Amino acid sequence: MTATAGVTATRPTARGAFALLGAVQVTLIFTLAAIAVPLPEIGARFGLRREDLVLLSAAYGLTFAGLLLFGGRLADRFGGRPTLLAGLALFTAASLAAPLAPGYGALLGARFAQGAGAALTAPAATAVLRTLFAEPAAYRRAMATWGGLSVLGATAGNLLSGVVSALLSWRWALALPPVAAGAALLLAPRILPAALPRPARRAALDVPGALLATAGIAAAAYGLVLTDAWPWTSDRVLVPLAVGALLLAAFPLVERRTRDPLLPPGFLRDRGRALGLAATALTAAGTSTVFVLFSLHLQDARGWSALRTSAAFVPFALSLLVSGRLAGRLVGRSGPAAVTGAGLGTAAAGLAALALFGLNPDVPYALGVLPGFVLLPAGAAAAFAGSAVLATDGVPAERAGLAGSVHNTAMETGPTVVFAAVLAVGGDRASLAAAAVVFLCAAYALSRPLSP
């Protein structure tokens, strides 16, 4: 199958390329979650304070989220394939440095560098997909499958890092990403077609916009992350929040006066795209919050080991895999908005079940936690599949990198914002119940017609 303005590869090549790019996306999100379980062991090894652990945990996500818009611009300007290879090279090198780090500073620097490599790689992968699957129907099917890969990566990160850390050490847990990324870097030149179309017009880099977006997102996210260790009224929290808010407020003002803005003002005006991005942020936030809360609950309140806690998430992963395989087909039959809304409603039921029964240590796991660990991932997989299509639908090929960067930004910043809100609510049960209500409201919004 060939196309003059899109896919230059045969169907088997497109399928192989999708498998490779999907593995890369899973690895990027795996790396984000992989440090959560071994973090206490790392803290004990290097004698770290709580605020040091908070920064170490957030470092990857800060540069990942902060640099995504600029990474998308680079992919649209120079092409998805070369940007992907450059990002993979940086990510692989940084990932090799992480498990070998002799101290806290080296490990922190490696995590920051990993995030920078991921910010180049993720939107570039979306840009390559857009050229491989040029027909709108084929691209929709690809993005429906693509949407569930991130939560799969997060689940795998929590599961495998816990098992490997318990059986070996935290260094071996951090050694998994460079193996996967290195293999992808070696295979990509052979599997990805070399003759992918280059952008017809090279967009300007918009350095002022990139600096404002990167610094603003990173500062605001850092301030929110610090609420885990410091009160909201602390200068340590207020200063980065204020700086981030000012920079992000200045961003649209600068963009309006820029000839070729990093984020065109009209890009987010499409109601379907806006709802898709909101659904992506909510779903990512809901699943990541449950990972954190129940990793702590099972170990602290129930006294489970890290290995047993990881095993408790196996049904979560199985439900995710089954629902993910069905979700792509449902998007084609029922439409992305309907599938996203149904997924959010199912996830809301899972959050409600966990709020009512899951946090009670007297209720057995099979009755209290397991129902939520089946319903939440089943709904999340459907919501991710549909929202990925909504967020990228109708985007021209020359802005595929932008679409990928905005979609990934929603996925990365959603958990940070919502987890800070969870801490502010001041109760795990109330937070999960509130999240269930928000999910239901979003599902209702998606039930309304998307056209004006």
Q: Decide: 220 and 65 in contact? Cβ < 8 Å.
A: no
Could you identify the residue written with the tokens 């299509």?
A: 389
Token couple for 238: 């207020």
Backbone CA torsion sign across 409, 412, 418, 420: negative
How many C-beta neighbours within 10 Å does residue 193 have? Answer: 17
Q: Which tens digits make up the pLDDT trace of 33-82?
A: 788 778 778 888 888 887 788 788 888 888 998 899 899 889 888 888 89
Rounded-to-integer distance, Cα 409 and Cα 68, Å: 6
Backbone CA torsion sign across 357, 363, 366, 369: positive
Spell out the long-range contacts of 445-452 with Cβ–Cβ below 8 A and sequence spacing 24 or more: 445/275, 446/275, 446/279, 446/337, 446/338, 446/340, 446/341, 446/344, 447/341, 450/271, 450/272, 450/275, 450/337, 451/271, 452/271
Token couple for 447: 């039930």
What does pTM read for this prediction?
Answer: 0.82
User: Is 167 buried (19+), middle (13-18) or exposed (0-12) by CB count in 10 A?
Assistant: exposed
User: Is 35 buried (19+), middle (13-18) or exposed (0-12) by CB count in 10 A?
Assistant: buried
Q: What is the pLDDT of residue 293?
A: 81
User: Which residues of the chain, if any, have pLDDT below 70?
Assistant: 1-12, 195-203, 228, 418-427, 449-452
Q: How far is CA 81 from CA 1, 6, 190, 218, 221, in A?
A: 20, 14, 12, 27, 30
Q: Decide: 343 and 287 in contact? Cβ < 8 Å.
A: no
Task: At 15, give phi and psi (nearest 5°).
Answer: -65, -40
**CA angle in degrees (0–180, nearest 5) for 152-342-353:** 75
Token couple for 143: 């993005």
Q: Decide: 357 and 363 in contact? Cβ < 8 Å.
A: yes
- Domains of the chain and any CATH numbers: 11-190+203-447 (1.20.1250.20)
Token couple for 60: 């990857």
Q: Which tens digits make up the pLDDT trace of 102-128?
A: 999 999 999 999 999 999 999 999 888
Q: What is the pLDDT of residue 4?
A: 33
